[in-house]
Structure 1
Amino acid sequence: MPEADAMQTSQCFQLKGATVSLTALELHFFEPAAFEETLRDKIRQAPGFFRDIPLVVSLEKYEGPTTELDFFQLIGICRRHNIHVVAVRGGDDDQRRLARNAALALLPATAQREAPAPKTEAEPEPETHPEPVQTPDVALSSSNPAPAAARIVTQPVRSGQQVYAPEGDLIILAPVQAGAEVLAAGNIHVYGPLRGRALAGVHGMADARVFCQSLEAELVSIAGHYKISEDLQEQGWKKAVQLRLKDDLLVATPLDKT
């Protein structure tokens, strides 16, 4: 086969949809020295977590002047600490123009739920008496969407591995070793020691929980709220616990007290 024909039949690449977990930095104002000092403090708390992570800068709560928003400086500070700024989220037109000039991707602002319209003192609606409609039980059950299937892992999750359940729960019937990462849209169950990083509710499910037979994790996160190992050792360390959000705070409760 001629070389030109072979190049036509074999594509250089393919584009496929992918779901990845990203860390968002909510920027309130930007002052280079204060920014770098705060970043150092965060990295000291969990150095393994921040190394070589992609970062999205969220401008939805930015209150400083746009003239002080120097993305080139911000990117340079992050790169000095092995953090890679890849995009900005939200922001006004001027802020997004500055981000584009710094070769950053632009992500839309987080969707806000519309508040229900206030009730007015309108005339009461006339009462209606619809005739009862009998629906077969089969029709009722088929109208409910089937729950997302859980992903079940039977082998240990070793250092450097990442296991992801993009739609439902993640059930691991083995240990999660230090340096490993497990993520799920729903709950995470670890029937063994949890020594790596566990991120549940990665799409924002605040009711998600993390269950493990022995809490020894480097980091646990639920719907973006996280605690590192130093904080986790204050309650339930090396015990069978469940972790959940309570008033936006991650709390651990022994499984024998639930």
Structure 2
Amino acid sequence: MSTPSPTPSYEQAGELKIGQVGVANLRVRTLDVDALVREMRERVERAPKLFGRAAVIIDFGGLIRTPDVDTARALVDGLRDAGVLPVALAYGTSEIEALSEQLGLPLLAKFRAQYERSESAPAPAPPPPAPVAAPEPAKPKAAPSQPGMVLKATVRSGQQIYAEQRDLTVLTSVGAGAEVISDGSIHIYGPLRGRALAGAQGNEDARIFCSAFHAELVAIAGHYKVLDDVPRALHGKAVQVWLEDGQLNIAAQD
């Protein structure tokens, strides 16, 4: 009598999902490897819990010329020595695509798109005037905006919450080691001890409000401050965070 064949298993050994992740983007504006590594080392030393072994995307899109592979590899190695982990290049040109292959790093297009939206662009040429006799075209209806995301439970250490294309309201608190991200503004009706990143897709008008400021890091449209950068007089206070003329401002609320 033959032994029956075992029933094949279709259970996956690993479940792969694509989600929002907190990854830092290093926009290279001056190709000075020593200066870039020194600056990164200083960031890690000032806030090791935030930047130590942090994943970093390297963006060469702000340079006139794409660096050669030896210079790029020296930067990657230097950043690793400084305490962070370069994981990809930000997509830009065919030269950057070739460079990523030489370095053995993937390309991520998302970060280039953010800069292209946030950086100033030349104003488009005005359309030619319509003929006097032509009727005025009907205005298209505005697309409905998504309602804000509201969280009733505490955001605990290790959790990451992302409100895509909308504001985020947390009715309780954000614990140390937790991260809340929003493409709009963030309102926290309790202590903020973790990280809050508003305007994640480049919205410089976004703001952060919290009832008790103990944040490890706050950021708006990529401009950030860590707790050590904030006057001690504001620690534990109800504050508002906003961006003005490229500077991140934090002030107590009345």
TM-score range, shorter chain: 0.7 to 0.9
Partner of 2:49: 48
Percent identity (aligned): 33
> Measured at CA, do residues 216 and 14 of structure 1 come closer, stay the same or move farther in structure 2, by a change above 3 Å?
closer
> For residue 21 of structure 1, what is the amino acid of its counterpart?
G
Q: For residues 73 and 246 of structure 2, what CA distance do their matches in structure 1 show?
A: 33
Partner of 2:122: 115
Q: For residues 151 and 198 of structure 1, what CA distance do their matches in structure 2 show?
A: 14
2:150 touches 2:170 (CA, 8 Å); kept in 1? Answer: yes
Q: CA deviation at 1:54?
A: 1.5
**Structure 1 unaligned regions, length at least 5:** none
Q: For residues 67 and 251 of structure 2, what CA distance do their matches in structure 1 show?
A: 44
Partner of 2:165: 167
> For residue 168 of structure 1, what is the amino acid of its counterpart?
R
Partner of 1:242: 240
Of 163, 176, 179, 2:177 maps to 179
- Residue pairs, 1:23-102, within 5 angstroms: 23-63=24-64, 66-67=67-68, 70-102=71-103
> For residue 229 of structure 2, what is the amino acid of its counterpart?
D
> For residue 209 of structure 1, what is the amino acid of its counterpart?
R
Q: CA deviation at 1:169?
A: 1.7
> For residue 37 of structure 2, what is the amino acid of its counterpart?
E
Q: For residues 12 and 67 of structure 2, what CA distance do their matches in structure 1 show?
A: 44
Q: Does 1:21 align with 2:28?
A: no
Q: TM-score, normalised by structure 2?
A: 0.81
Of 139, 144, 147, 1:146 maps to 144
> Measured at CA, do residues 127 and 23 of structure 1 come closer, stay the same or move farther in structure 2, by a change above 3 Å?
same
Q: For residues 76 and 82 of structure 1, what CA distance do their matches in structure 2 show?
A: 10
> For residue 206 of structure 2, what is the amino acid of its counterpart?
A
Q: TM-score, normalised by structure 1?
A: 0.80
Q: CA deviation at 1:131?
A: 8.2
**Structure 2 unaligned regions, length at least 5:** none
> Measured at CA, do residues 117 and 222 of structure 1 come closer, stay the same or move farther in structure 2, by a change above 3 Å?
closer
Q: How many residues align?
A: 245
2:153 touches 2:172 (CA, 8 Å); kept in 1? Answer: yes
Q: For residues 186 and 207 of structure 1, what CA distance do their matches in structure 2 show?
A: 8
Root mean square deviation of aligned Cα: 3.1
Moved more, 143-152 or 99-108: 143-152
Q: CA deviation at 1:251?
A: 1.1
Partner of 2:218: 220
Moved more, 52-61 or 159-168: 159-168
1:21 touches 1:202 (CA, 8 Å); kept in 2? Answer: no
- SS of the equivalent of 1:70 reads helix
Q: CA deviation at 1:221?
A: 0.3
1:48-67 deviation per Cα after TM superposition (whole angstroms, max 9, x unaligned): 11123221111111257734
Q: CA deviation at 1:190?
A: 0.8
1:133-172 deviation per Cα after TM superposition (whole angstroms, max 9, x unaligned): 8x9xxxx9xx443321322222222222222222322211
Partner of 2:189: 191
Q: For residues 167 and 132 of structure 1, what CA distance do their matches in structure 2 show?
A: 29
- SS of the equivalent of 1:159 reads coil
> For residue 162 of structure 1, what is the amino acid of its counterpart?
Q
The structure with the larger Rg is 1
Partner of 2:132: 127
Moved more, 186-195 or 44-53: 44-53
- SS of the equivalent of 2:135 reads coil
Q: For residues 180 and 119 of structure 1, what CA distance do their matches in structure 2 show?
A: 46
